Amino acid sequence: MIKNISIEKLSSWCFLLGAIFSFVPFLVQLLMSNAPNENSHVFTFFANQIILNGKVSLLNALLSILGAALIGYGVFSLNGILQKKSNDSLLNFATYLFVISTIGFIFSWSQDFIIVWGDVKYATNHMMVEFSLIFSFGLFYWLGISIFTYQLSIAKFIHENFLKSVSCIGIINVLLIIYTLFTFDPYNGATITPLYMGFVFGNFLFLAFCLLAGKKLLMD
């Protein structure tokens, strides 16, 4: 049975399971974590929260890594399916950006293991590394999502207006990353709030896209 599974079905399950695995830590972080206040050191604040949450932080990182890997394959294989119907160089480019950024995010989330297991006095430094990777690869990630979903909206893969909404939030998050890079004050948590809110809203829409894409591929 497994040997005969089609690429469409495998891609659909990767989207569906990847969205579920990614949503759990996304929801847990929303419920268990607070945004840093204006007077806190951002990197120390987040590092302390990861340490305090302990095994929950380890589980969140593990699920995020699994979810990202599955969604990465889902996007990669969906691109392959669509390329067979019509060559689209922008879709190829978006897939490339998304896949390399997914690898970068996996490296960033692995820092949580080090923060929990390692010496507390180095936790802030590892948090800085994690942020640096998120900022760097986040540019490729959201740009890739924006181009990918826009091209899918042209092809009317699923709901056109929804895909354009995901594409728009992708561009907004790219701009927020660039803006935050030059305005971010590590000792003022308020300077990261716009980017934090953009990521929350963007991830919510993208995970919804993964579920809808998985559902469509499963039914085709």
Q: What's the gap between Cα 151 and its chain centre?
A: 19
Q: What is the pLDDT of residue 1?
A: 46
Q: What is the pLDDT of residue 90?
A: 96
Average pLDDT over residues 32-39: 73
Q: For 159, which DSSP code?
A: -
**3-class state of residue 140 by DSSP:** helix
- Half-sphere exposure (Cβ direction) of 69: Cα atoms closer than 13 Å: 9
pLDDT digits (tens, 9 = 90+) for 137-169: 999 999 999 999 999 999 899 999 999 999 999
- The CA distances from residue 135 to 140, 174, 190, in Å, are 9, 9, 17
Instruction: Parse the chain into domains and list their residue ranges.
Output: 7-219
Task: Give pTM, 2 decimals.
Answer: 0.93
pLDDT digits (tens, 9 = 90+) for 83-136: 998 889 999 999 999 999 999 999 999 999 999 999 999 999 999 999 999 999
